[in-house]
Structure 1
Amino acid sequence: MRVYLPCTLPSLARVAGAGEVGPAPLTGYAVTPALVEWYVSGDTEELEYVALTDAARASLRMLAADRADGVEVAARRVVVAAEVPDDVVAAGPDLEERSRVRVPVVVRMNQIAAVHVDDLGAVPDVEAAIAAVFAADAGDDDARFVVDGVEDHELMWFATQEIPDLLT
């Protein structure tokens, strides 16, 4: 099963150094039965895009949390796409994020298929979304508009061999 794991650039550096995404359990996003039922008419590619977008939103929350803790982190959403055995992944009952899953094991580097990262051109909109994401989660419609706007930026695809280049 393709699982999308939200990340940040500093977290990606730790993944590269450790050779795995962890510690477990991990929160990820995938095509779940609840997502398929909710989306009704989408094909697998469309459903995976929804899961990727949900993971990118979670990455945005990670960036905002890091900033709130005083951590300097680049305003670029990061999502790690990994192949995880279906029988390991557990879908949650979260109706708000129908694609949310729990991965009770670490994900090794050889399971990572790709990394998705914002282009530098997205940074101003990501900055604005970082400032607005918690208000958006609390129901502020203006903040939600700002956060939704960052989704106009497509995440770029990188092979695992390109991770060192992303981190320099």
Structure 2
Amino acid sequence: MRVYLPCTLPALAQVADTGEVGPAPLTGYAVTPALVEWYVSGGTEELEYVALTDAARASLRMLAADRADGVKVAARRVVIAAEVPDEVVTSGTDLEERSRVRIPVAVPLTQIASFHVDDLASVPDIETALAAVFAADGGDDDARFDVDGAEAHELMWFATQEITDLLI
């Protein structure tokens, strides 16, 4: 199953050092039965894009939490796409997060298919979204508009062998 794992650049550096995404359990996003039921008219590509977008939003929350804790992190969302055996992935029934899944094990680098990262040109909109994401989660429409501005940016695709290039 293709699972999209939210990440940050510092966490991606840790993946490069340790050779795995962890520690477990991990929260990821995938094409789940609940997502398929909710998005009935969508094909596989569209459904995977929804899961990727959900993971990018989770990455934004990770960045905002890091900043709230005083950690200096670049305003660039990161999503890891991995092929995880179906039998280890469980999905919940949370209607708000139809694509959310749990993985009880670390994901080795060998299962990672690609990385998706914001372009440097998107940083100003990501900065704005970082300041607004928690208010948007609380229902603030103006803050939601700011987060939508970040989500309008497509993430760039990188192959696994390009991980060191991303960290320079």
1:74-111 per-position Cα deviation (integer Å, ceiling 9, x unaligned): 00000000000011100012110100000011000000
Amino acid at match of 1:126: I
Unmatched 5+ residue regions in structure 1? Answer: none
Give yes or no for the alignment of 1:19 onto 2:22.
Answer: no
CA distance in 1, matches of 2:94, 2:162: 34
Instruction: Give the SS at the match of 1:96.
Output: helix
CA distance in 1, matches of 2:110, 2:13: 16
- Per the alignment, residue 8 of structure 1 pairs with 8
Structure 1 stretches of 4+ with a deviation exceeding 2 A read: none
Give yes or no for the alignment of 1:83 onto 2:83.
Answer: yes
Amino acid at match of 2:13: A
Instruction: Give the SS at the match of 1:149.
Output: helix
CA distance in 2, matches of 1:38, 1:149: 24
CA distance in 2, matches of 1:159, 1:99: 24
1:107-127 per-position Cα deviation (integer Å, ceiling 9, x unaligned): 000000000000000000000
Matches within 5 A, 1:8-157: 8-157=8-157
CA distance in 2, matches of 1:16, 1:109: 8
Unmatched 5+ residue regions in structure 2? Answer: none
After superposition, the CA RMSD in angstroms is: 0.4
**How many positions carry a matched residue from both structures?**
168
Instruction: Give the SS at the match of 2:97.
Output: coil
TM-score normalised over the length of structure 2: 0.99
Amino acid at match of 1:165: D
CA distance in 1, matches of 2:148, 2:34: 22
CA distance in 2, matches of 1:91, 1:149: 29
CA distance in 2, matches of 1:93, 1:129: 27
CA distance in 1, matches of 2:149, 2:12: 24
